[in-house]
Amino acid sequence: MASTAAGKQRIPKVAKVKNKAPAEVQITAEQLLREAKERELELLPPPPKQKITDAEELNDYKLKKRKGFEDNIRKNRTVISNWIKYAQWEESLKEVQRARSIYERALDVDHRNITLWLKYAEMEMKNRQVNHARNIWDRAITILPRVNQFWYKYTYMEEMLGNIAGCRQVFERWMEWEPEEQAWHSYINFELRYKEVDKSRTLVMVHPEVKNWIKYAHFEEKHGYIARARKVFERAVEFFGEEHINENLYVAFSRFEEKQKEFERVRIIYKYALDRIPKQQAQELFKNYTVFEKRFGDRRGIEDVIVSKRRFQYEEEVKASPHNYDAWFDYLRLVESDTDADTVREVYERAIANIPPIQEKRHWRRYIYLWINYALYEELEVKDPERTRQVYQACLELIPHKKFTFAKIWLLYAQFEIRQKNLQNARRGLGTAIGKCPKNKLFKGYIELELQLREFDRCRKLYEKYLEFSPENCTTWIKFAELETILGDTDRARAIFELAIGQPRLDMPEVLWKSYIDSAIEQEEYESTRGLYKRLLQRTQHVKVWISYGQFELSIDSDDRIQRCRQIYEEANKSMQNCEEKEERLMLLESWRDFEDELGSFANKERVRKLLPEKVKKRRKITAEDGSDAGWEEYYDYIFPEDAANQPNLKLLAMAKMWKKQQQDEDEDEEDDGPLCLAHYYRMTVNIQVINTPV
């Protein structure tokens, strides 16, 4: 029966989750951790204050606390902080013997813990147990002799107690371990505090390093032993020798001698050191030597120091990278300012000997300035024109003119010959340049030279050669024509312009035509100017040409100038009706409108206003470079009146807009008249579509 009852007993079913959708508010692991951390920081209520009224309660309190400390120690004996807290608590109750016992038990656990020894000794000193403290310090420095903190505390305690002999004995024991320099300095300072100078002197030279030699010398100087200090520096120089020479030692030695007013000795020390120390390691020495010469030397001595230092730096740079022309420029600038001409020439010859390894102009651009500076130095500083000529000629022979050339060199050479009043050589040089390697800059420089000399026939010949070399250069044609105009030969200038516009290829034809037209206007040849405008309009229908043509007609002082200008605008508008660039036609119409606003009648103004287009925003597809669809973009289009007449949809749109405007002007109620207005709009739209449907 019991088993039957157990079989019949229902097993509780697990509740099925009907809604498996995610909750609206999601809780992340980060949020859980953050909340847990925040709750840790919540302040717990302080424990209640306990007042002890009799000895029995005090003993119970002590027993309870000791039991807690002992339990903590039993749980983890290696946590020294528990031992220290326990001992400090006993100390606070004046139970020094118990605290001492706790520290001893802790030292049995970890006798190499520095903090434990320090707390133990501090407790004994705080309670004026000097012998106990000495005992602890002795044990500590015996077990851990490399912990300097024990020695410092021990010596400080003995000195505060006035036990100078004991303190010295501790220092002696410490020095047997050969500690770091600071320990020795502490011992030295201790002896100096008690005027034991001789003992201090015996302690200085334990670590024979440069800074310690310097400190030893300063020690002797401080106590007035100048001869001993100098002897220390001399011994240091002998000790290190030339193999381990150090600039700091010589800097300190020279400063010491400078304080003693021994300036010649200082100068000898600096020179001795600079001759033996590598220059890369003697930067501070150079600096101090320079400062010394500025203070106590003459001008020549200062310049020698500075120049020698900088010359060495530049020598190192050019040796490391002979093709670093910027370093050569700096080096040459230095030697030019201080040395004689032979030395400067030697450096220039060394510099120009580093020819660029690749015959490409970009590699020669900096190099060629070495030659230019060399020639200018010979001409302006040395005043040697013959050597200057040789420098220019050597440079021109070196340049590979078949691959590239430098017009600057040719022009500088020609200008030099002119300064020497040798015009024939200058012309010969420029003629050779044009024959070997013609360039625009060479032609311009040669023409400018002949213009300054007022040799106009030579200028004409040069312009002819220039145009044979570069017939597409519009600037040259214009300059040639301007020259003829200045000389009063307008027929030649006109002929030059005609030849220019007849060229099959020009780099700036619009500038050339403008100059030709401006020249004709200056000569007041208005019929010729009209002919030029018409010829230009046969080649191009650019809107600016039409506008310039109209403004020209308007600028002429005649009775029919307004009618002529209007006629040109009409012709331009008719000509540009089929122009693809609608903005250009719009520009023309706006210029026409401004003209009519200023000088036209009301009818003409209305006529032009009707010709202006309507600005319409449209959309078009954008195709990417790979042919895929990139979306749509908006742009503005201009609908001219003749375009609107050819598109029935535009008529429909205009009538719809007109109807909408009429509806907005009416003051009828929108709700009552809404269906009627919609039906009226529908009938109107149908009628428009019927009208515009082609038969």
Long-range contacts from 613-620, C-beta under 8 angstroms, 24+ separation: 613/582, 613/585, 613/586, 613/589, 613/638, 613/639, 613/640, 613/641, 613/643, 614/638, 614/639, 614/644
Residue 320 zone, left/alpha/beta (φ > 0; ψ -120 to 50; rest): alpha
Most confident of 55-64, 261-270, 558-567: 55-64
Least confident of 312-316, 507-511, 602-606: 312-316
How far, in Å, CA of 118 to CA of 133, rounded?
A: 10
Q: Does the structure show a pLDDT above 70 at 426?
A: yes
d(CA 284, CA 296): 18
Query: What are the C-alpha distances in Å from 275 to residues 253, 270, 390, 461?
Result: 16, 9, 40, 66
pLDDT (0 to 100) of residue 485: 82
pLDDT for 299-331, tens place per residue?
555 565 666 667 777 777 888 888 888 888 888
Q: What percent of the chain has pLDDT over 70?
A: 78
**pLDDT band at residue 281 using 50, 70 and 90 as cut-offs:** low
CA gap 224, 321 in Å, rounded: 53
pLDDT at position 671 is 45
Please tell me which of 143-147, 527-531, 556-560, 603-607 the model is most confident about, judged by mean pLDDT.
143-147
Q: Half-sphere exposure of 511 toward its Cβ, with a 13 Å CA cutoff?
A: 11
Arithmetic mean of pLDDT, 607-622: 78
pLDDT given at position 41: 67
Closest by alpha carbon to 506, among 538, 539, 532? 539
Residue with the bigger pLDDT between 63 and 620: it is 63
Per-residue model confidence (pLDDT) at position 7: 45
Q: Phi/psi at 667 (nearest 5 deg)?
A: -105, 20
Supply the DSSP symbol for 558.
Answer: S
On the question of pLDDT at 683 being above 60, the answer is no
Q: ∠123-130-153 over CA atoms, to 5°?
A: 70
For residue 8, what pLDDT is reported? 46
At 639, is the secondary structure helix, strand, or coil? strand
Query: Residue 693: its pLDDT value, please?
Result: 32
**CA gap 113, 143 in Å, rounded:** 11
Amino acid 209: pLDDT: 65
- Mean per-residue pLDDT for 443-462? 84
**So what's the pLDDT on residue 299?**
57
**Which of 238-242, 396-400, 660-664 shows the lowest per-residue confidence on average (mean pLDDT)?**
238-242
Q: Which residue has the higher pLDDT, 22 or 428?
A: 428
Task: Using the structure block, give the residue that is written with the tokens 């109209």.
Answer: 550
SS3 399: coil
1 band by pLDDT with thresholds 50, 70 and 90: very low
Q: What is the pLDDT of residues 214-237, one digit of tens each?
A: 676 666 667 666 777 777 676 776
What's the confidence (pLDDT) of residue 537? 78
Integer Cα distance of 74 and 486 in angstroms? 117
CA dist 312 and 289 (Å) reads 15
Mean pLDDT estimate for the chain: 77
How far is it, in rounded angstroms, from Cα 76 to Cα 67? 14
**pLDDT over 60 at 285, yes or no:** yes
Cα dihedral: 687, 689, 691, 695 (round 10): -140
The SS3 call for residue 580 is coil
Mean pLDDT lowest among 177-181, 289-293, 435-439: 289-293
Higher pLDDT, 425 or 636: 425
- Residue 691 binned pLDDT confidence (cut-offs 50, 70, 90): very low
Partnered with residue 462 across adjacent β-strands are none
Cα separation, 517 vs 454, whole angstroms: 28
**What's the rounded mean pLDDT across residues 579-584?**
75
Q: How many residues does the chain have?
A: 695
pLDDT score at 459:
86
Which residues make Cβ contacts (< 8 Å) with residue 190, sequence separation at least 6? 155, 159, 167, 168, 171
Question: Looking at the predicted structure, is the pLDDT value of residue 674 above 50?
Answer: no
Least confident of 229-238, 467-476, 477-486: 229-238
Report the alpha-carbon distance of residue 616 to residue 639 in Å, rounded: 7
Residue 165 has pLDDT above 60, yes or no: yes
Q: Which of 545, 597, 590, 599 lies closest to 568, judged by CA?
A: 545
**297 or 315: which leads in pLDDT:** 315
Q: How confident is the model at residue 365 (pLDDT cuts 50, 70, 90)?
A: confident
Q: What is the pLDDT of residue 280?
A: 61
Backbone angles phi, psi at 631, to 5 degrees: 105, -160
CB atoms within 10 A of CB 640: 17
Helix (H) or strand (E) holding 680: helix 670-692
pLDDT at 50 over 70: yes
Provide φ and ψ at 635, rounded to 5°: -150, 165
Indicate whether 274 pLDDT > 80: no
Query: In the prediction, which pLDDT does 554 show?
Result: 78
Instruction: Give the span between the Cα atoms of 321 and 328, in whole angstroms.
Output: 10
Task: Report the alpha-carbon distance of residue 631 to residue 249 in Å, rounded.
Answer: 78
pLDDT band at 350 (very low <50, low <70, confident <90, very high): confident
pTM over 0.75: no
Per DSSP, the three-state class of 620 is strand
Helix (H) / strand (E) element for 568: namely helix 561-575
Output the pLDDT for position 5. Answer: 43
What average pLDDT does the segment 343-359 reach? 86
